[in-house]
Amino acid sequence: MKASSHPARLAGSLALIFVATGAAASIPPPPTAAELALQGDDVAWSIAEGLTTEIGPRQAGTEAEAAARRWAVARLGQLGFANVREEPFDMPTWVRGEEQAWLTGPFHPQPLAIAALGNSASTGRGGIEGPVAYFASYDDLVAAPDHYVRGRIVFIDHQMKAAQDGSGYGYYGRARFSGPNAAAKKGAIAVVIRSIGTDSHRTPHTGVTSFEPGVTPIPAGAVSNPDADQLVRQWKRTLQMRTNETPLGYTPEPLRLKLVLTPQLLGPRASGNVIAEVPGSDPAASPVIVACHLDSWDLGTGAIDDATGCGIITAAARYVMSARQPRRTIRILWAGAEEVGVHGGKAYFDKYGAQRHAVAMESDFGADKVWRVDFKLPDSAKTVADRIAAALAPLGITRGRNPASGGADVGALVQAGTAAVDLQQDGTRYFDLHHTADDTLDKVDPAQLRQNVVAWTATLDILANSSASELGE
Ligand code: ZN
Ligand code: ZN
């Protein structure tokens, strides 16, 4: 933990601002929203702790996700929000089955730690076995001739590198997002990828993949980084064996894999969004939307992805509400079924996309400290951005130059023109845990979670009280 993220240090640095604005009055002014957040009663932590402890894994379309919605409605009501409601929708539901993998030859057989990717086809209970076609990257797979792939189990290597802004996910993530589809089109019988993750533990990283219409899905899984290393060492030996004898005299045959993956597509099942509001004082003012996602992958308890995000946005909205009624309505969206295709975000846009939103924000990148703020605001809101940047500077948050994009669940709104502010979290260790069995509450640093809440509260307070001339109606 860095000293700068300690709550006492944050309180000290923010106090300077408040002293400057409030010390002259003989009667102390009521506490601001950010001051309330600093004195906070750990609303964010209690949401993350409660959701992960009482519900745990909550995969989209399952009974666990439905239980999480009921939990969310009860908790948001207890916290004093208005218009708390579930908004159901149906989505295609995929569930994990048995999952095992082995390197079966030419060396002594041994198991690999594997997790099926969302939308993977089943191998059947008997599994499938075949020779490996190795690719150093997704681009190499795309460039390969079909005959090199046909009838084989494709393996995509390409280890993701950690970055503070998490920017490697888009580049390396293509192996998961699009690799299985590319392999299927070339006639592969299955695909195994190196996990899209930056850790060195035997915890494979799951996540959704998708197949184009008309492409028959194939079995698809991710092995952990150490298991991918093992596979690659064997692959290299099979190449060497073509020219050299090995000590045990293995014959030069291709590397072989066996997979038993038995996931199922259950067809349409109910999911849903949970929405709550802080009603604004000006009924003509367009709302501010803050989002997280309620569903998680099934392997862990979804602490950093995304129980803490729901805790952060909700705590911030509550501190703003506690300080004074904001001018604009704050709409809190705990989206369903994000992990498997942003179904909740789409359902929200279908229902409310025609309504004007003043600005959109989302928290879905763990709970480590916010280090940068990005804006996508109209020119009329220049002073809003300046006020936010000034309020965040004492928290160690710098102003970025990239346009804000808002996050997955509000992405459709932002693409349709809604303004956005992104509070960028430190992603250095996010992909050690992302979509693994290790995404659990003990990984959340309460001091950094608190820094997020203070930053969100200060930002949301300014946005929710912005004028019509700044952010329009
Ligand atoms: Zn997420
Ligand atoms: Zn996720």
Q: How far is the CA of 434 from the centre of ligand 2 (A)?
A: 7
Integer angstrom CA distances of residue 202 from 3, 222, 226, 433: 32, 11, 6, 11
- Cα distance between residue 195 and residue 204, in whole Å: 6
Q: How far is the CA of 435 from the centre of ligand 2 (A)?
A: 6
Q: How far is the CA of 44 from the centre of ligand 2 (A)?
A: 19
For residues 356 and 18, the model is more confident at 356
Q: How far is the CA of 293 from the centre of ligand 1 (A)?
A: 6
Write down the residue that tokens 């299927």 correspond to: 184
In this structure, which ligand is nearest to the CA of 309?
Answer: 1
Checking DSSP bridges between strand 256-261 and strand 264-278, what pairing results, if any?
unpaired
Q: Which residues contact 318 (CB under 8 A, 6 or more apart)?
A: 43, 79, 80, 81
- Cα distance between residue 304 and residue 435, in whole Å: 9
CA angle, 373 then 343 then 378, to 5°: 35
Q: Cβ(387)–Cβ(462) under 8 Å?
A: yes
- Cα distance between residue 195 and residue 49, in whole Å: 27
Q: How far is the CA of 336 from the centre of ligand 1 (A)?
A: 11
Write down the residue that tokens 């086809």 correspond to: 121
Q: How far is the CA of 413 from the centre of ligand 1 (A)?
A: 18
pLDDT in tens, 160-210: 999 999 989 999 999 999 999 999 999 999 999 999 999 999 999 999 999
pLDDT of residue 6: 44
Q: Cβ(434)–Cβ(380) under 8 Å?
A: no
Give Cα 464 to chain centroid, integer Å.
25
Q: How far is the CA of 216 from the centre of ligand 1 (A)?
A: 27
Residue range 103-121: mean pLDDT, rounded: 97
Whole-angstrom distance between the N-terminal and C-terminal Cα of the chain?
A: 42
Q: Cβ(194)–Cβ(157) under 8 Å?
A: yes
Q: How far is the CA of 307 from the centre of ligand 1 (A)?
A: 9
- Before 254, cis peptide (omega within 30)? no
Q: How far is the CA of 305 from the centre of ligand 2 (A)?
A: 5
Q: Which residues contact 82 (CB under 8 A, 6 or more apart)?
A: 276, 277, 278, 279
pLDDT in tens, 29-42: 888 888 888 887 79
Q: The pTM is what?
A: 0.92
Write down the residue that tokens 């709409």 correspond to: 331
Q: What is the mean pLDDT of the chain?
A: 93
Judged by DSSP in three states, 308 sits in helix
Residue range 425-436: mean pLDDT, rounded: 98
pLDDT of residue 12: 42
Q: Cβ(155)–Cβ(231) under 8 Å?
A: yes
- Of the listed ranges 36-50, 100-114, 274-288, 347-361, the least confidently predicted one is 36-50
Q: Per-residue pLDDT for 24 more than 90?
A: no
Confidence of residue 246 (pLDDT cuts 50, 70, 90): low
Among the listed residues 77, 81, 70, the one whose alpha carbon sits nearest the alpha carbon of residue 330:
81
pLDDT of residue 1: 41
For residues 130 and 473, the model is more confident at 130
pLDDT in tens, 312-355: 999 999 999 999 999 999 999 999 999 999 999 999 999 999 99
CB atoms within 10 A of CB 389: 16
Among the listed residues 34, 48, 42, 38, the one whose alpha carbon sits nearest the alpha carbon of residue 310:
48
pLDDT of residue 249: 62
Confidence of residue 22 (pLDDT cuts 50, 70, 90): very low
- As a whole-number percent, the residues of the chain with pLDDT over 90 amount to 87
Q: How far is the CA of 106 from the centre of ligand 1 (A)?
A: 40
- As a whole-number percent, the residues of the chain with pLDDT over 70 amount to 92
Q: Which residues surround ligand 1, an ion (CB under 5 A)?
A: 305-306, 364
pLDDT in tens, 63-98: 999 999 999 999 999 999 999 999 999 999 999 999
SS3 assignment for 193-229: EECCCCCCCCCCCCCECCCCCCCCCCCEEEECHHHHH
- Of the listed ranges 14-18, 361-365, 388-392, 447-451, the least confidently predicted one is 14-18
Judged by DSSP in three states, 136 sits in coil
Q: How far is the CA of 427 from the centre of ligand 2 (A)?
A: 13
Confidence of residue 18 (pLDDT cuts 50, 70, 90): very low
Q: Per-residue pLDDT for 7 more than 90?
A: no
Buried b (16+ CB within 10 A) or exposed e, 436-471: bbbbbbebbbebbbbbbbbbbbbbbbbbbbbbeebb
pLDDT in tens, 278-321: 999 999 999 999 999 999 999 999 999 999 999 999 999 999 99
CB atoms within 10 A of CB 364: 22
| Domains (range + CATH), the chain | 3-93+267-464 (3.40.630.10), 97-262 (3.50.30.30)
Confidence of residue 267 (pLDDT cuts 50, 70, 90): very high
pLDDT of residue 34: 84
pLDDT of residue 400: 96
In this structure, which ligand is nearest to the CA of 300?
Answer: 2
Q: How far is the CA of 405 from the centre of ligand 1 (A)?
A: 15
Q: Cβ(123)–Cβ(256) under 8 Å?
A: no
Among the listed residues 391, 276, 405, 440, the one whose alpha carbon sits nearest the alpha carbon of residue 34:
391
Tokens of residue 262, six digits: 């038995």
pLDDT in tens, 380-396: 999 999 999 999 999 99
- Cα distance between residue 394 and residue 407, in whole Å: 25
Confidence of residue 19 (pLDDT cuts 50, 70, 90): very low
